[in-house]
Amino acid sequence: MSEATGTSDTESDASARAIIGGRTALGIELGSTRIKACLVDADDPTRVLAAGSHEWENEFTADRRWSYPLDAVWSGLQRACAELVADAERRHGARPTSFGAIGISAMMHGYLAFDDQGELLVPFRTWRNTSTGRAAAELSSAFGLNIPLRWSIAHLHQAVLDAEPHVPQLGFITTLAGYVHWKLTGRKVLGVGDASGMFPIDSSTGDYDAGLLARFDALVAEPAARAGRETGLRVAQLLPRVLAAGEPAGELTAEGAALLDPTGGLRPGVPLCPPEGDAGTGMVATNSVAPRTGNVSAGTSIFAMVVLERPLAGAHHEVDLVTTPAGDPVAMVHCNNGASELAAWAGIFGRFADAAGATRDGAPLGRDAVFETLFREALAGESDAGGLLAYNTLAGEPIVELDEGRPMVVRTPDSRFTLANFMRAQLYGVFGVLALGMRVLDGEGVDIDRMFAHGGIFRTAGVAQRFLAGAIDAPVAVGETAAEGGAWGIAVLAAYLRERTGAAHDETALGSYLDDRVFAGSAIQVVEPEPADVAGFTVYLERYLAGVAAEAAAVAALEPAGPMNFTDESTKRK
């Protein structure tokens, strides 16, 4: 047994051979607060061989938009990959110089616009921006389905409506995952799941909806013609090509290898799977790609994905329609705000513990201990949080019609203001807007056999999982990958590409591959909703909805003091 790694010498030798031989799959995900790299054994993706990460933050810039500078993309990727290489050497005595396959994932939606020469035309506009209200409303009406504010097509249409100077120069638009993949391979492609957050997908063809493409071109041409000008837009020419999971998406070029590893240690020629969005990789990481399955992903944002058996009867502004990485239709309930405000409060209590000299087993309380202590305290709270309300709205929240956010804790004089109720209200607040959307799906008669949850807040067993079950009144499962997230999910998709395109040319469908090769025998913990939690959360949600008016008043009354950034500490729990 190796004392340094906790693995047997035989296992470590096998891992070293896999790394040296390139029988691995590398997954990289650019999340809202961390860039993560995960290396797995391509023949057994449940075996994580090495990992690396880099923390970064978005900023609320002077023009009132959320953004990341693109140079931070590359410096962050390089640091995460360098940490992964060092981890592989430390654990297995082997330095990877190539991989069996690579996958890139990132936060979905947003707007990255380039000219024909590949030059960025405007700063990256992330999914968090809510400045596309008029465009989203016009597109939703014209298309007959919900187009959320964060979708790429809403950003493009808003730029057209605002007659932004860069519009005539557009050569193509893409997402963050599509941008990184393009720079690594030279190919402008996108996985169907990520593409479905740019423009609606026709699941019967696995491509952008042809009728809606034509409708968009006509929509932007009409006002331009009345104004005596020509937009020149043909949206199909601006969007990346759509690929399904398992399809080849290009190879790592010499220039791309240098972007990941400036030392020159990484060899080009590695195949890449289609780049995907964080929603799709979350579905893979929780084995939720089959009809009647779903998952909840909690981090800086929180969203639910439910794979549909049949189309919804109507359009709902709380629900948008996307796809799995294989192209099957999915109902998505996306909330701009997740666990960041909860993490900020945990940071306050952690600092108090440090200032008070609190220790456990003779050592200062670490981040995990602070979270666990506060979460356990929440279990002692009243089922309706004692009349307390917590709003986690650091940014706008379209489902409740907030263009901007102001995090708040609100209570009436007769509320029971205890630490237990306060923490339960904070956890309930993470799930508040999500529950509104899930109630819409329940009204549509959408059946769910299993709902998986993943993200840092589910690390403390039986707390956030239990409260989520009460919020959506459905069983919630948490598996061994609950905190691994999308970097592992995209590594699995890279391994799936290798399986599909290798010597065996295995045509196994994605769902079957996950069932038989990845999750067979995986341990999961299922929590059934407790009646008291369901009833208490219902009362909480009624108060929460009434209190949104106070949130709106705070947005109107209180201007931000300057550019903002934040980090979701709950997603960093080791």
Q: pLDDT tens digits for 351-365? A: 999 999 998 888 899
* Res. 483: pLDDT tops 50: no
| pLDDT in the model for residue 572 | 41
Q: How many domains does the chain have?
A: 2
| pLDDT in the model for residue 505 | 65
Q: pLDDT tens digits for 49-98? A: 999 999 998 888 777 888 999 999 999 999 999 999 999 999 999 999 99
* Domain C-terminal end among 226, 259, 276: 276
Query: Domain limits at 215?
Result: 105-276
* Domain C-terminal end among 276, 306, 326: 276
Q: Give the Cα separation of 294 and 402 in Å (integer).
A: 27
| pLDDT in the model for residue 479 | 81
Residue 115 domain flag: yes
Question: Does residue 352 sit in the same domain as residue 255?
Answer: no
Q: pLDDT tens digits for 205-256? A: 999 999 999 999 999 987 666 656 666 689 999 999 999 999 999 999 999 9
Q: Give the Cα separation of 146 and 101 in Å (integer).
A: 36
Residue 286 domain flag: no
Place of tokens 């990481």: 285
List 410's β-bridge partners, or say none. Answer: 389
Residue 114 domain flag: yes
Q: pLDDT tens digits for 283-294? A: 999 899 999 999
Question: Does residue 270 sit in the same domain as residue 346?
Answer: no
Q: Read off the pLDDT of each residue in 252-265 and give the average, rounded to a whole number.
A: 97
Q: Read off the pLDDT of each residue in 440-466 and give the average, rounded to a whole number.
A: 91
| pLDDT in the model for residue 504 | 61
Residue 433 domain flag: yes
Q: Give the Cα separation of 127 and 252 in Å (integer).
A: 27
Q: Read off the pLDDT of each residue in 277-287 and give the average, rounded to a whole number.
A: 92
Question: Does residue 379 sit in the same domain as residue 453?
Answer: yes
Q: Read off the pLDDT of each residue in 503-510 and give the average, rounded to a whole number.
A: 76
Question: Does residue 238 sit in the same domain as residue 359?
Answer: no
| pLDDT in the model for residue 227 | 59
Question: Does residue 407 sit in the same domain as residue 268?
Answer: no
* Domain C-terminal end among 276, 307, 330: 276
Residue 93 domain flag: no
CA angle centred on 352, ends 404 and 540, rounded to 5°? 45
* Res. 7: pLDDT tops 70: no
Q: Give the Cα separation of 484 and 83 in Å (integer).
A: 17
Q: Give the Cα separation of 113 and 11 in Å (integer).
A: 46
Residue type at position 291:
P
Residue 428 CA from chain centroid, whole number:
20
The greatest distance separating any two alpha carbons of the chain, rounded to the nearest whole angstrom, comes to 76
Region of residue 195 (left: phi > 0; alpha: psi -120 to 50; beta: else): alpha
Phi, psi (5° rounding) for residue 5? -110, -15
Question: Does residue 221 sit in the same domain as residue 365?
Answer: no
Residue type at position 182:
W
At a CB cut-off of 8 Å and minimum separation 6, what does 149 contact? Answer: 129, 130, 131, 132, 133, 136, 396, 398
| pLDDT in the model for residue 300 | 86
Q: pLDDT tens digits for 417-439? A: 999 999 999 999 999 999 999 99
* Res. 4: pLDDT tops 60: no
* Res. 3: pLDDT tops 60: no
Cα 510 to Cα 326, 450, 492, distances in angstroms:
7, 18, 10
| pLDDT in the model for residue 137 | 95
Question: Does residue 398 sit in the same domain as residue 256?
Answer: no
Average pLDDT, the chain: 91
Q: pLDDT tens digits for 343-353? A: 999 999 999 99
The C-alpha R_g of the chain, in whole angstroms, comes to 23
Question: Does residue 226 sit in the same domain as residue 346?
Answer: no
Pairing of strands 329-335, 320-323: antiparallel
Phi, psi (5° rounding) for residue 165? -60, -25
Residue 250 domain flag: yes
Question: Does residue 211 sit in the same domain as residue 109?
Answer: yes
| pLDDT in the model for residue 562 | 58
Inter-residue contact 290 to 155 (CB < 8 Å): no
Side-chain half-sphere CA neighbours of 373 within 13 A: 16
Q: Read off the pLDDT of each residue in 319-339 and give the average, rounded to a whole number.
A: 95
| pLDDT in the model for residue 438 | 95
Question: Does residue 531 sit in the same domain as residue 388?
Answer: yes
| pLDDT in the model for residue 570 | 40
Residue 303 domain flag: no
* Strand locations in 262-375 (E): 276-277, 293-298, 302-307, 320-323, 329-335, 359-360, 363-364
Of residues 31 and 505, the one with the higher pLDDT is: 31
State the helix-helix crossing angle for 419-443 and 531-557, rounded to 10 degrees. Answer: 100
Question: Does residue 465 sit in the same domain as residue 360?
Answer: yes
* Strand locations in 188-247 (E): 189-191, 201-202, 207-208, 241-243
- Global pTM reads 0.86
Cα 109 to Cα 148, 157, 178, distances in angstroms:
10, 14, 10
Positive/negative CA dihedral, 256, 257, 258, 262: positive
* CATH code, domain with 355: 3.30.420.40
Q: Is residue 518 classed as helix, strand or coil in its secondary structure?
A: helix
Pairing of strands 101-106, 24-30: parallel
Question: Does residue 119 sit in the same domain as residue 193?
Answer: yes
At a CB cut-off of 8 Å and minimum separation 6, what does 362 contact? Answer: none
Q: Read off the pLDDT of each residue in 122-129 and give the average, rounded to a whole number.
A: 91
Inter-residue contact 181 to 272 (CB < 8 Å): yes
Q: pLDDT tens digits for 513-530? A: 999 999 988 888 999 999
Q: Give the Cα separation of 467 and 65 in Å (integer).
A: 33
Residue 208 domain flag: yes
| pLDDT in the model for residue 571 | 39
Token couple for 558: 């209180």
